[in-house]
Structure 1
């Protein structure tokens, strides 16, 4: 798997799955794990930053300091959770897949540890509790990093198109699973790419950068590639 990583994603999102609450089989309802999360990870005694998001049982975490992306699927059982997580070096290859489990206090903190001893300790970010609308996310968005640049235009109906300097052309749809939460589902088709052509699914959110909700962050997954990216709104 390869990844296009640009700037730093203080979040990101996942594949569509079931996001219902359900029951743990005991007296404690299953916690809602959804949110934008920020905090730290620790591996072999080294602590590093982590920023990410969790929705539809998919967790995406990015570390600028350690140059890694963690992507997984986790499920709640009361105030506990468990699943698996894949570790990637940014713009390189997958390091491995690890079982992970932990505990959560809904919209406060989420903590866990993999079987190889990597820990995560995350705090909830209130940006997740902002409303979502197609009006907010529509417009022209762009990013550049070195010789690479890309832009996408999102229409008011949620359809979008774009391209990048590596020859890729993008088109797709954005919809809103919950208008009271700052989360958007994305479906994208990439064509004309040397390697990353294909169909992708994931999530996006609007984050504060220089202003309010002036940064579009998203994560998309296909059968062979992961795209984690950040775009700025064009004035």
Structure 2
């Protein structure tokens, strides 16, 4: 929600089809950027977990379309472009108010971050308007839930398998076991170990955490780190999709079942 790189993302299914996802590399830190671990549900107009079509209007002019994943824990990830995601946490008040924090992780000539706050309100079930503020920056963000995509639900039994993605000349393979454990590697030498968790199987959104180690190449040290993020399963494409960060760099995976 604090983007620096502009890219168009169309409202479509699969939800991530028009977001320019690629192998973003990994980060150097060993801690993830997380806020509070729970969000209070509203008693009137709720903002359910799932995928949200997102429009960002900048105070300096112009706008972008993006996608946001929201978990039942209150964690969210917004993606404008593969090297530009915002990860944070939202909390909901009984008066339909929304507050939260987030960190934008983006790449220009090097990886940078910008942290700020989020405030706003739920306008109707599945729709919200937010203001994202960071030092020297402000934007107005609208969220519109993709109900069909989000309400199909997801289970570990459904997603457990091996998935592969090839981007920027590198192939990444991830295996999700029946207990949610995540393992994988890529052709640069990176080894991935982590966990996929589904907070509520009624909604098509999951949380993921993993460690990247042993990464090779000139940027290998940058790609080693501990990541956390959110994702979803697209049954039409047989794809697992997730976005994450270690608080210093961004990572994205859009893998097809092998």
Q: TM-score, normalised by structure 2?
A: 0.72
Q: Secondary structure at the match of 1:136?
A: helix
Asked if 1:34 corresponds to 2:49, the answer is yes
Q: Establish whether residue 190 from structure 1 lines up as the match of residue 207 from structure 2.
A: no
2:91 corresponds to 1:46: no
CA contact (8 A) 1:206 1:217 kept: yes
Distance 1:129 1:19 in 2: 20
Shift of 1:67: 6.2
Contact 1:33/1:76 (<8 A) preserved: no
CA distance 1:227–1:15, change in 2 (3 Å): farther
Residue in structure 2 matching 1:202, options 216, 220, 229: 229
Across the aligned residues of Structure 1 and Structure 2, the Cα RMSD in angstroms comes to 2.9
Cα distance in 1, alignment partners of residues 35 and 78 from structure 2: 17
Number of residue pairs the alignment of both structures matches: 217
Residue deviations 1:85-105 (CA, integer Å, cap 9, x gap): 222324742242222211114
1:15-94 equivalences under 5 Å are 17-21=36-40, 31-32=46-47, 34-43=49-58, 44-55=60-71, 56-64=73-81, 68-77=84-93, 78-90=95-107, 92-94=110-112
Which residue of the other structure, out of 238, 248, 257, is the alignment partner of 1:214?
A: 238
Mapped partners of 2:206, 2:104: distance in 1 = 24
Q: Which has the higher contact order (CA 8 A, sep 6+)?
A: 2
1:3 paired residue number: none
3-state SS, counterpart of residue 135 of structure 1: helix
Equivalent residue number for residue 176 of structure 2: 154
TM-superposed CA distance for 1:48, in Å, is 0.9
Contact 1:39 1:121 in 2 (8 A): yes
What's 1:136 paired with? Answer: 158
Which of 118, 121, 126 does residue 142 from structure 2 map onto?
A: 121
Return the alpha-carbon distance in structure 2 between the equivalents of residues 175 and 117 of structure 1: 33
- Hey, what's the Cα distance between the residues in 2 that align with 1:146 and 1:76? 39
SS at match of 1:117: strand
CA separation in 2, counterparts of 1:124 and 1:178? Answer: 17
- Taking a change above 3 Å as real, the CA distance of residues 22 and 128 of structure 1, as seen in their structure-2 partners, is closer
Structure 2: how far apart are the matches of 1:45 and 1:184?
Answer: 34
Equivalent pair of 1:7/1:145 in contact (CA under 8 Å):
no
